[in-house]
Amino acid sequence: VQLQASGGGLVQPGGSLRLSCGASGSIFSIGAMRWYRQALGKQRELVAAISSGGSTNYADSVQGRFTISRDNAKKMAYLQMNGLKPEDTAVYYCNAVAKEFGSGRYDIYWGQGTEVTVSS
């Protein structure tokens, strides 16, 4: 299973970005999908998560500003980020729990990061 994240960039405070994460490979099933971020000098933190059924949860710091969604048919997850603040600057990573065909278990997969910079 490979995850490809995209959509990062430079945006002014108060602006918006939409991150995308696509899964590919010999995928039998995808469970939860999550977005993490890691700012320079800080630990990686969970930003948002969405279950296979669409239940969501968010870090307190992004609640009300960020929205996670997914398209199961396309094997995609998205993170709509509105009202961006300088403290949202980080490398954002997508993560998925997935099972490959022929595998008897779910494993955790990570995509490469996409950089988000919020600055005027």
Instruction: With cut-offs at 50, 70 and 90, classify the pLDDT of residue 103.
Output: confident
Instruction: With cut-offs at 50, 70 and 90, classify the pLDDT of residue 73.
Output: very high
- The model's pLDDT over 36-72, given as tens digits with 9 standing for 90+, comes to 999 999 999 999 999 999 999 999 999 999 999 999 9
DSSP string across 35-104: EEEE-TTS--EEEEEE-TT--EEE-TTTTTTEEEEEETTTTEEEEEE-S--GGG-EEEEEEEEEEETT-S
Instruction: With cut-offs at 50, 70 and 90, classify the pLDDT of residue 104.
Output: confident
pLDDT given for residue 69 in this prediction: 98
As a whole number, mean pLDDT of residues 83-111 equals 95
pLDDT given for residue 63 in this prediction: 97
